């Protein structure tokens, strides 16, 4: 038996679709039947837990779940000690440095402030550039940072780019590409090798088929 944590929301919907396409019985997870339940049987071999992204990492790192599906953004921010077993190739987006359209971020030598929901990713990015910036953690609608004059720029997730556009902002540069990953607990990968091998082989096949169909 493998216990797998899925990130609630869009990632979970795609992950359930991929499990179903990989031959697993996901009927307990049907949205119209499941109510407020958080633990589900998927066939006889898998138990699924629904959790928030950062909690998926916590459960997998601490081994109360064997594996999980979570965005690369959360893995990067958590600096998590987990194995990334498979790039599921959905939930694709990118981390970008963005700000007021037409402004040159690097102009001037003044103190730069960056607003982000991802302070660790932001600090690491600027550290690697050798640039000392102040990072302000914002919980959501980070685009408000430059609009309100809180920050010179933001580091945030860009998917379609429409939130930036609607607010007169633009991408200055890409920071990293992101997609959903299947992660595993570092010791469980050895003790439950056969179970992981079977699941990852089935999911890999589905990822391949989806890629061919897209
Ligand atoms: C995310 C992200 C951007 C937006 C990007 O926010 O932080 O704001 O989506 O998507 P787009 O490029 O397709 O416009 P989310 O919807 O999670 O809300 P939040 O900002 O309140 O966290």
pLDDT (tens digit per residue) in 48-94: 999 999 999 999 999 999 999 999 999 999 998 999 999 999 999 99
Mutation test residue for ligand 1: of 74, 137, 140, 171, the one with most atoms within 8 Å of CB: 140
Quote the percentage of the chain above a pLDDT of 90. 95
Our answer on whether the CB atom of 144 is closer than 6 Å to any ligand 1 atom is: no
What distances in angstroms separate CA 150 from CA 99, 113, 136, 137, 168, one per listed residue?
11, 8, 9, 11, 16
Residue 108's pLDDT is 81
Residue 163, token pair as written in the block: 């939130």
The values of phi and psi at residue 65, to 5°, are -120, 145
Average pLDDT over residues 123-130: 96
Closest protein CA for atom 20 of ligand 1:
141
Ligand 1 pocket test target in 97, 138, 157, 174 with most atoms within 8 Å of CB: 157
Position 142 pLDDT exceeds 80: yes
Domains of the chain: 2-91+179-213 (3.40.190.10), 93-176 (3.40.190.10)
pLDDT of residue 110: 83
141 Cβ closer than 6 Å to some ligand 1 atom: yes
Alpha-carbon span 62 to 23, nearest angstrom: 28
Q: Ligand 1: does its nearest atom lie under 6 Å from the Cβ of 163?
A: yes
Please name the residue whose Cα sits nearest to atom 21 of ligand 1.
140
Model pTM score: 0.92
35-48 confidence digits (pLDDT tens) = 899 999 999 999 99
- CB 119 less than 6 A from any atom of ligand 1: no
Select from 59, 75, 86, 70 the least CA-distant residue to 10.
70
Give the H/E segment covering residue 163: helix 162-166
């Amino acid at each position: 038996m493998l216990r797998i944590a899925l990130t609630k929301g869009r990632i979970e919907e795609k992950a359930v679709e991929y499990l179903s396409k990989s031959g697993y019985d996901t009927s307990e997870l049907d949205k119209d039947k499941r109510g407020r339940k958080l633990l589900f049987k998927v066939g006889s071999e898998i138990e699924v837990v629904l959790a928030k992204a950062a909690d998926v990492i916590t459960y997998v790192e601490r081994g109360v779940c064997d594996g999980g599906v979570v965005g690369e953004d959360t893995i990067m921010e958590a600096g998590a000690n987990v194995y990334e077993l498979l790039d599921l190739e959905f939930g694709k987006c990118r981390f970008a440095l963005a700000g007021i359209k037409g402004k040159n971020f690097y102009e001037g030598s003044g103190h730069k402030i960056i607003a982000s929901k991802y302070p660790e990713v932001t600090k690491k990015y600027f550290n690697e550039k050798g640039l000392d910036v102040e990072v302000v953690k914002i919980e959501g609608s980070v685009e408000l940072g430059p609009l309100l004059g809180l920050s010179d720029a933001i580091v945030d997730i860009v998917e379609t780019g429409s939130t930036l556009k609607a607010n007169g902002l633009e991408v200055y540069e890409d920071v990293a590409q992101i997609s959903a990953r299947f992660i595993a607990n570092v010791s469980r990968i050895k003790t439950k090798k056969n179970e992981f091998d079977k699941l990852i082989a089935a999911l890999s096949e589905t990822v391949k088929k989806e890629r061919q169909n897209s």
